Every structure is written in C-alpha cells, then in structure tokens.
Amino acid sequence: YKAGDAQVVFHLGFAPGVIELTGTRLYNPEARPVPGRERPTVDQPVSMVDNGDFSEPLEGNWGMGDGQKLQVTLVSTEVTGYPKGVRLVTSPPPDSQGWSVGFGQRCKAGVRKGDAVYFRAWMRSPDKVRVTFVWEMAEAPNTKGISQMVRLTPEWKEYRFLGRAFQSFGPNETQAKWFLGHDKGTVELAGVRVENYGPATDHAFSETIDYWGGRENPDTWRAPALERIERIRK
C-alpha cells in the first residue's frame, strides 16, 4: 500500500460504554529500521547510538550520573582514533545488584527480527571492577539481546559482543547500557559502537567474552585434559 491507502480503525459500535486507549502503535516488522535507508549490511552497518566517541557534550545522550552512586566526567585517552573518553566512578550501595547503577542511552535506530547487533568499546579499570554490558528492551520486561559481564583490566582493551534481535523494534524501543553496580571503583570507556549489521552471519564477527573473569589463564589445564580424554574416554 502507498501512504494513505490503509487505515487503522477501532470498531466501537458493539455496545454502549466507555473505552480508554493509550500507547497505540502499529508498525511492520519487515519494514526498514530507518525510513528511507537501505537495509544494514556488513559493509554498511547502521549506528544505533549517538556520540559514541564522546566528542560532544554528554548531556544530550549519555547523561551525567547522579553524583552519588555514579559520577561521570570526560577524559583524554591513549586509544588510537578515540582521543576522548568518559570516566565513570561508581559507588554502589552494599549488597547492590549490578543493574542498580547504570550508564547508557536509548538506541536511536530500529532493528528487524534476526538482525545482528554488534557492540564494541574500549574499556579499562584501575580497580579491576566488573561491568555488564546489555542491549535490551527499553521498557519492562527489559528482555535482553546481549548481556555479558567482564572484569576489566588496568590496560585499555577492546571488548566485542554479538547479539540477535529477538523481535523487531522501532527507534528508542531498545537501549544500550552498562550495569556498574557490581563493584565500587573507576571505569573508563572510549570508542563505543553499537551497530545493526542486518542479516549478517555470526562468522562475520569476533567476540571477546571473558570466560575467566579477568583471571590469568596460563593454559596449563589443556595438556592433562587431552591426555585424560585419550586414556579414559577413548
């Protein structure tokens, strides 16, 4: 249909009475996430967040924290290509949950069900705190397409996580956030990218999931494990 050739109607003639409506939305899950733009691809992904290089004031998109549980300031970085970053000083209450302190923004672009959503950001923490990155529904029940916790190191490192849109969403219906309520300490971020790659396959991406929680993994377990496989299981 062309614009204006279809309509949305509530038929109300069944019985007398009062009806109240709110939050009415109608959208095509097969439509393009951004009107007038081609579908995202590996070569031309669509950015879902604003000011990921922190070159503009934070108030317009990222926010400035509450001054108590979270303090936010702009800083200079040594990350190639990203001279500016943000410092997050977290002071969560005792026994708090990770989500009790958050930093992020709503995603400006929509996604189609099955689209690949790829997160990349440079991060470090002199206090080696734990952080969880999530891409989730912006409203309850806050179902998550990405949820990965890592323990940061004092050195800058790029972290990369891949998720899939479990349903179609319009602009501002999802959000990208860091949960910072795990530990008290300082976290620095730079070069944040959350992008929609459309129907790209998983093989197009690499991830840095921290299976060891920041602990050293000297790989000494591997040789004995292979020997036991040969001796016991075979």
In this prediction, residue 32 carries a pLDDT of: 45
Dist. CA 208–CA 185, nearest whole Å: 22
In this prediction, residue 2 carries a pLDDT of: 76
Q: What percent of the chain has pLDDT over 90?
A: 71
Question: Of the ranges 168-172, 191-195, 207-211, which one carries the lowest mean pLDDT score?
Answer: 207-211
Reported in sequence order, the residue ranges of 61-106 that DSSP labels E, i.e. its strands, are 70-79, 82-90, 102-106
Query: What is the pTM for the complete model shown?
Result: 0.75
**What secondary structure does DSSP assign to 7-76, as a single string?**
------TTSS------------TTS-SSTTSPPP-SSS-EE-SS-TT--S-GGGTT--B-SSSEEEEEEE
Nearest CA to 58 out of 73, 43, 79 is that of 73
Q: What percent of the chain has pLDDT over 70?
A: 91
In this prediction, residue 220 carries a pLDDT of: 83
* 32 or 150: which leads in pLDDT: 150
**Mean pLDDT, the chain, whole residue set:** 90
In this prediction, residue 34 carries a pLDDT of: 47
Mean pLDDT, to the nearest integer, of 116-143? 96
**pLDDT above 60 (res 192):** yes
**pLDDT above 50 (res 224):** yes
Cβ proximity of 190 and 122 under 8 Å: yes
**pLDDT above 70 (res 215):** no
Question: Of the ranges 20-34, 83-97, 166-180, which one carries the lowest mean pLDDT score?
Answer: 20-34
**pLDDT above 90 (res 13):** yes
**pLDDT above 50 (res 141):** yes
- pLDDT band at 29, cuts 50/70/90? low
Mean pLDDT, to the nearest integer, of 78-97? 94
* Burial group, residue 123, by CB count within 10 angstroms (0-12, 13-18, 19+): buried
